[in-house]
Amino acid sequence: MAKKFLVQNNIHFEERNVSVDYAAAQELQKRNIRGVPAFFVGDDVIVGFDQAKLLQLIDHRLQQCPQCSTKLRVPVNKGKLEVKCPKCATKFEVTT
């Protein structure tokens, strides 16, 4: 469910399975986190699948250039933005 949400919102993420990934399990333990899923956003940690909190913390998402498919990071909640692709210089509008 969480994965689907992240994909739907164009949020880049790295999935780690604590039941097979020892380093990931250690990291949770180090931070004293007992619940999964846990989401690391920069220095912030969200335990449990809290959509509102996640969206609040994640201030950028990946947007694909319609011309060359380069992925670029655009801020969120800024209304309509004109973005210029760094690769092919195509300008396009995104609603954030």
Q: Which is nearer to Zn ion, 18 or 83 (CB)?
A: 83
Reduced 3-state DSSP string for 36-82: CCEEEECCEEEECCCHHHHHHHCCEEEEECCCCCCEEEEECCCCEEE
Question: Tell me, what DSSP letter sits at residue 7?
Answer: H
The CB-of-10 to Zn ion minimum distance in angstroms stands at: 16
The CB-of-61 to Zn ion minimum distance in angstroms stands at: 17
The span from the CA of 13 to the CA of 49, in Å, is 14
The CB-of-78 to Zn ion minimum distance in angstroms stands at: 20
Site residues, Zn ion (CB under 5 A): 65, 67-68, 70, 85, 87-88, 90
Q: Which is nearer to Zn ion, 46 or 65 (CB)?
A: 65
